[in-house]
Amino acid sequence: MTWVTGRLLCGWAPVQTSTKKTLAKPNVRNIVVVEGVRIPFLLSGTSYKDLMPHDLARAALSSLLIKTNVPKEVVDYIIFGTVIQEVKTSNVAREAALGAGFSDKTPAHTVTMACISANQAMTTGVGLIASGQSDVIVAGGVELMSDVPIRHSRKMRKMMLDLNKAKTLGQRLSLISKFRLNFLTPELPAVAEFSTSETMGHSADRLAASFAVSRLEQDEYALRSHRLAKKAQDEGLLSDVVPFKVPGKETVTKDNGIRPSSLEQMAKLKPAFVKPYGTVTAANSSFLTDGASAMLIMAEDKALAMGYKPKAYLRDFVYVSQDPKDQLLLGPTYATPKVLEKAGLTLKDIDAFEFHEAFSGQILANFKAMDSDWFAQNYMGRKAKVGSPPLEKFNNWGGSLSLGHPFGATGCRLVMAAANRLRKEGGQFGLVAACAAGGQGHAMIVETYPK
């Protein structure tokens, strides 16, 4: 603890000093990110709309292979996150890996945890390495919202299955006679929280209201996200983006959802969920996105032995969960103090914050919750608030609102943004945090790899 107080006395300027201790723990393997890539995140229904999820995942994987030159037989395991599953490729990790040129001897599995699925893929890998089961892991995530599985209704499905089993013409006819026109009503994938039947946007609007976040504040925050993303894109800071030659179409080179507008324009939009007086609109929410990301994670000794120059350490991480009704999107509030405590850091030690932006209102509500002693004491069982992250260190290269949010792939983008920002801006610790459907959340400390 002494070094923490010592550093506190130095103030919290985001300048990396050589006196800082790293978060390495005795007897625990250091785990590093060697490289991470993502194909451009696109508004769904645009250039990727005719592809399948494993096509996107494959593109990210093969780009990673090319960029890192990692010998395919070295990779011990591949893990991918995804949310809306294409039923034909339910283990999308395996289908994509096979096509991307990884060894067919490398096992692959798919994980799902809503918007923190890719985080779960990464931390699963971290676990495998830390426990000595593996040395080299590829983790990633993919989402294709341009196409979602729309099913026949349960009644129709039941009839079709029964028809399959029917042996005689009589049985078949009697089954068919039970057919009603409403059997044809299709079933869309759930857009609502299963436990509460509330859509996420609706919950976000209520959350914003709970914390008295105004429409203007939300629009301003969204505008900031788009402006910063545009700037980062123009300055070429988004170095994890790799070009993707879409079969039959042009090569996609950059994210296409970044659209800095004006507050006046944004103010014209009607509320999207709570009508007519809500505050969450299309302009201050993240949009449906197609995209994929992938990352090469190794034990530090292995990476060094192979001659790699790692980008960052993956340090402590936590998963949290809370009431899926009224605190659906407060994951970062719960996860942040916990992960900081675990790592022995305070908010002031963090040089780069990378939070998932589901909605402006959600981010701002989290800020207010993190800045409230009352909330910390009454809902989190903590003595005091953790504090709200300083905006000048927060999502400086844009976020999910502007860059896009392919559910299963965002986690890797957050970690790569933190790692790349630390390298560029010269900080030591990054904090990644995200909320997820189901009232869950995640946070992880990223430590820059010494140059």
Partner 1 sequence: MVASRAIGCLRRFANASRTLHHCSGYICRNFSRSSALLARSHINYGIKDDVAVIRINSPNSKVNTLNQELQSEFMEVMNEIWASDQVKSAVLISSKPGCFIAGADINMIAACKTPQEVTRLSQEGQKMFEKLENSPKPIVAAISGSCLGGGLEVGVPAAFDMMLTGRNIRADRAKKMGLVDQLVEPLGPGVKPPEERTIEYLEEIAVTFAKGLADKKISLKRSKGLMDTSYLTELTSYAMGIPFVRQQVYKKVEEQVRKQTKGLYPAPLKIIDVVKTGLEEGKDAGYLSESQKFGELAMTKESKALIGLYHGQVLCKKNKFGTPQREVKNIAVLGAGLMGAGIAQVSVDKGLKTILKDATLTGLSRGQQQVFKGLNDKVKKKTLTSFERDFIFNNLTGQLDYQSFEKADMVIEAVFEDINLKHKVLKEVEEVIPAHCVFASNTSALPINEIASVSKRPEKVIGMHYFSPVDKMQLLEIITTPKTSKDTTASAVAVGLKQGKVIIVVKDGPGFYTTRCLAPMMSEVIRILQEGIGPKKLDSLTTGFGFPVGAATLVDEVGVDVAKHVAEDLGKAFGERFAGGSLELLKQMVSKGFLGRKSGKGFYVYKEGVKSKDLNSDMDSVLAGLQVSPKPEVSSDEDIQYRLVSRFVNEAALCLQEEILATPAEGDIGAVFGLGFPPCLGGPFRFVDLYGAQKIVDRLRRYEAAYGKQFTPCQLLIDQASAGKKFYQ
Helix or strand run (H / E) with residue 266: helix 263-267
Nearest CB to partner 1, comparing residues 69 and 378: 378
Nearest CB to partner 1, comparing residues 219 and 354: 219
Can the peptide bond before residue 53 be classed as cis, meaning omega within 30 degrees of 0?
Answer: no
Q: What is the CA radius of gyration of the chain?
A: 23
Q: For residue 319, which of 439, 161, 403 has the smallest C-alpha distance?
A: 439
Nearest CB to partner 1, comparing residues 122 and 280: 280
| Shortest separation between residue 139's beta carbon and partner 1, angstroms | 32
Q: Which amino acid, residue 53? A: P
Q: For residue 261, which of 293, 226, 286 has the smallest C-alpha distance?
A: 226
Nearest CB to partner 1, comparing residues 330 and 403: 330
Cβ neighbours of 416 (radius 10 Å): 26
Helix or strand run (H / E) with residue 64: helix 53-68
| Shortest separation between residue 389's beta carbon and partner 1, angstroms | 17
| Shortest separation between residue 323's beta carbon and partner 1, angstroms | 7
Q: For residue 444, which of 434, 101, 435 has the smallest C-alpha distance?
A: 434
Read out DSSP for 333-356? HHHHHHHHHHHT--GGG-SEEEE-
| Shortest separation between residue 331's beta carbon and partner 1, angstroms | 14
| Shortest separation between residue 366's beta carbon and partner 1, angstroms | 12
Render the burial of 293-328: b for 16+ CB within 10 Å, e for the rest.
Answer: bbbbbbbbebbeebebebbbbbbbbbbbebebeebb
Rounded Cα distance, 274 and 271, in Å = 6
Rounded Cα distance, 159 and 153, in Å = 10
| Shortest separation between residue 294's beta carbon and partner 1, angstroms | 35
DSSP 245: E
Rounded Cα distance, 421 and 239, in Å = 10
Q: For residue 400, which of 258, 273, 262, 270 has the smallest C-alpha distance?
A: 258
Nearest CB to partner 1, comparing residues 196 and 346: 196
| Shortest separation between residue 194's beta carbon and partner 1, angstroms | 7
Contact (CB, 8 A) for 167 and 65: no
Contact (CB, 8 A) for 329 and 203: yes
The site for partner 1 (CB under 8 A) is made up of: 194-197, 202, 206-207, 209-212, 274, 276-277, 323, 325-327, 365, 368-369, 372, 374-375, 378-379
Contact (CB, 8 A) for 135 and 426: no
| Shortest separation between residue 377's beta carbon and partner 1, angstroms | 11
Nearest CB to partner 1, comparing residues 183 and 379: 379
Nearest CB to partner 1, comparing residues 278 and 389: 278
187: which strand partners? 151
User: Would you name the residues annotated as active-site residues?
Assistant: 115, 405, 435
Nearest CB to partner 1, comparing residues 196 and 261: 196
Q: How far apart are the first and last CA of the chain?
A: 26
DSSP 449: P
